[in-house]
Structure 1
């Protein structure tokens, strides 16, 4: 990071604080899947209704993206992150006292609002503060998001087993919010973030819609795997603890790919080959889940994790590549995430309905395989030589 515009020590401290903040953006969702069987034992939940625990926070994240930048400009980046971490921490801790499905769903929505405010802010902050290393820093940020999911998915079942309570398995992740809050508050607020172009200005651009659809379909694979991979293997006879560890392994592969892929892609502004390889890995992983879930059991989650883990940051990096001005790039990524999360939010519900209708998740995996094939055709259109023409 020797080219980062800020002096080395403050820049590294800010990046470390961003990493800690990012760890809080998925545990509220990732801890649910491995504990779903135990939750359903206490609270009546169909698979369709259980999908709301992933769907609603993701949909909330999408909707909140459209006012998230306005909130951050009014409050400032420092106070926005503080407010968001407090909201996430309270929503997560409240799960200690839940008795109904409605209360569980409301806690997920509240956490989604806090998550969205941070996710709307961070790409603009990173582009403005670390302009010489955008791909690397975005990779660290997004990888930390997936790292939080990996920690929650792997350890939530262990916490439940040790304590005998799925509520503690869901609520313990409020500790991460407290830690991030302490570190974030320990450094003084930096210079005000540049005002971002309103994301409304991108509604008339077909390329912005293409980027949003690409991000949304890619995130749909992530949210479906997050919500349903562990229940899928529990139905195959695995224990909740082993299914949670498998999801943790998958998200660990996401973390590895999220670190390596942006660094590899940073060598060239043309990201198309990297995107196609990532999408092919995801397709192979879904096909393996369908055709041979018990044989080579670790290979399919490994392929899925490597593909999804690289695709998530690369989808945002490609959006940032389209515009050099941090203000407009921030507005574009907010638009892309807003529309994209609305698309992705529906996918766990659709997959849950497919499971309720056909008695298996396999048709959901087939549908996602088809979506990845469509994304390959979309990725081939991301020629950097024509970015300026598409978003003039």
Structure 2
């Protein structure tokens, strides 16, 4: 009995380690390019007019490839699906170097692979009874990967003798490592059985979150007809739209304030690093309904205030202001991932809600970098861009308000009972 318990506990930690390593691989593809956007046309022979498209392509791929992950997971299992996605990601990163003419298609393929892996992370967390700490560590992995991508791209370029292409392609190596790790956990993640529940929060999320959406006969309503699912999707999409707009253009904006390219890239890395603790703690705090009542809508308001701060601050004060923006933005991403787990009834529901929220959400988010760039081009200034992003952050606050109310999202059938109609909502 003790040996079985120890084995289960070890298996749980191995799954968590694999998920964190996977998460670290799901942002460098974006932030490496964002930090050296002004060098890409020379390194790859890309028409400068296509640079906004390069920043938008990964997010556009996120939006159109959402259904791939649930389908692939049904065919081969969640862990093998993530492993396959990471191998495709590694291949796409190398392909762009071997054939520079395929920079844009390779970037789209990389985005598809990232989306496939990203969608399945919450499903594995839910299947293994992961608490807020699990979700927090995974979202922190996203932030750590983003920071490493932005901060190491120029040192790597120098290490490769000035080759930007190989500085971008070297990220294929950690992708392969992540694939190996997650494939090693496939037996544990296949069933989610025998893995210890590390705290009671995960159970209480579903128990206190209202009954699964169903009609009087117990037949479950499709997610597309469930208000909670759309509220979670809106929250995830709006915070992602803000994130990708900021990461795509923050370095360019900072250079317009008089900072050098190296300093601007360093602040982009700082934007991600500063948010690491917030991305870890937001899902943990979200497991407490009283905190969640304030956290969900409050984050949107905080992001709006931080954006105005970055806009108004002089170059000398950008370090603290960018840090504050990184904290609240990363907390929003952590909460967005946590809501998928908190506001779903079980692993299959979490997987479907993850696909829906990230699929539709990233389709919306793909407009962020493009719209931000066009606003700047049309006006020749940054005020309109930042004010529009701040207004969007206020809409995010509204989405957060509705995401934490009502029944949990579910595709898993339930038997009608008195309990179905008497369970309290998560937040009233």
CA–CA distance in 2 between the matches of 1:130 and 1:50? 42
Q: Counterparts of 2:248 and 2:333 in 1: how far apart (Å)?
A: 17
The Cα shift of 1:129 comes to 0.7
Aligned equivalent of 2:65: 64
Render the CA deviation track for 1:61-82: whole Å, top value 9, x for unaligned. Answer: 1221123101111011232122
Matches within 5 A, 1:1-392: 7-42=8-43, 43-46=45-48, 49-100=50-101, 103-131=102-130, 133=131, 135-162=132-159, 163-187=161-185, 189-190=187-188, 192-193=190-191, 201-268=222-289, 271-384=292-405, 386-388=406-408
Deviates more, 1:55-64 or 1:214-223: 55-64
TM superposition shift of 1:314: 0.7
Residue-by-residue CA offset, 1:224-273 (whole Å, 9 max, x unaligned):
11111112222333232221111111101121211122223333366131
- 114-123 or 375-384, which moves further after superposition? 375-384
> What is the deviation of 1:326?
2.2
What do the CA deviations read for 1:329-382 (whole angstroms, capped 9, x no partner)?
321221111110000011111112122222233322111100111222332234
Task: Quote how far apart the aligned CAs of 1:170 are.
Answer: 1.4
Runs of 4+ in 1 over 6 A off after TM superposition: 389-392
Q: Check the 8 A contact 1:27/1:148 in 2, yes or no.
A: yes
When structure 1 is superposed on structure 2, of 371-380 and 14-23 the one drifting more is 371-380
Taking a change above 3 Å as real, the CA distance of residues 344 and 365 of structure 1, as seen in their structure-2 partners, is same
1:325 positional shift: 2.3
Residue 363 to residue 41, structure 1, CA distance change in 2 (3 Å)? farther
Paired with 2:305 and 2:85, the residues of 1 have a C-alpha distance of 37
> Is the Cα contact below 8 Å between 2:345 and 2:410 reproduced in 1?
no
Distance 1:379 1:187, change over 3 A: closer
Q: Contact 2:30–2:55 at 8 Å: present in 1 too? A: yes
**Contact 2:306 2:324 survives alignment (8 Å):** yes
Distance 1:124 1:389 in 2: 14
Gaps of 5+ in 2: 193-219, 412-419, 421-428
Separation in structure 1 between the aligned mates of residue 391 and residue 34 of structure 2, nearest angstrom:
24
RMSD of the alignment, in Å? Answer: 2.6
Kept in 2: contact 1:136–1:266 (CA 8 A): no
**1:98 Cα offset (Å):** 4.6
Q: Highest Rg: 1 or 2?
A: 2
TM-score by length of 2: 0.82
Question: Is the CA contact (8 Å cut-off) linking 1:207 and 1:390 kept in structure 2?
Answer: no
3-state DSSP class of the match of 2:17?
A: helix
The separation in 1 between residues aligned to 2:39 and 2:121, in whole angstroms, is 35
Change (3 A) 1:91 1:377: same
How many residues matched?
A: 380
SS at match of 1:190: helix
Kept in 2: contact 1:253–1:305 (CA 8 A): yes
Indicate how the Cα distance of structure 1 residues 324 and 374 shifts in structure 2: closer, same or farther if over 3 A, else same.
same
Give CA deviations for 1:182-230 in whole Å, capped at 9, x if unaligned. Answer: 3334445325358xxxx99322233322221221111111101111111
